[in-house]
Amino acid sequence: MLATLVDRAQKGDEEAFAALTQAVGDRCMAIAYRILRDAGLAEDAVQTALTTAWRELPSLRDHDRFEPWLHRMLVNVCYGEAKRRRRVSANVLAMVPDALQTPDATLTVHDRDQLERGFRRLSPEQRAVLVFHHYLGLTIAEVADHLGIPLGTAKSRVRYATAALRGALEADARTPVNSKERPA
Residues at the contact surface with other proteins, assessed by CB under 8 A = 12, 14, 17-18, 21-22, 25-30, 33-34, 39, 42-43, 46-47, 50-51, 54-59, 61, 65, 68-69, 72, 98-108, 111-112, 115-116, 119, 130-131, 134-135, 141, 144-145, 148-156, 162, 165-166, 169-170, 173
Query: Buried b / exposed e across 134-171, counting CB within 10 Å, b at 16+?
Result: eeeebebeebbbbbebeeeebeebbeebeebbeebeee
To other proteins, the closest distance from the beta carbon of 90 in angstroms equals 20
Nearer to other proteins, 87 or 97 (CB): 97
Q: How far is the CB of 93 from other proteins (least distance, A)?
A: 16
Which residue, 88 or 152, is less far from other proteins as judged by CB? 152
What is the C-alpha to C-alpha distance for residues 22 and 130, in angstroms, rounded to an integer?
A: 25
Judge contact between 77 and 52, C-beta under 8 A: yes
- Which of 166, 134, 138, 136 lies closest to 151, judged by CA? 138
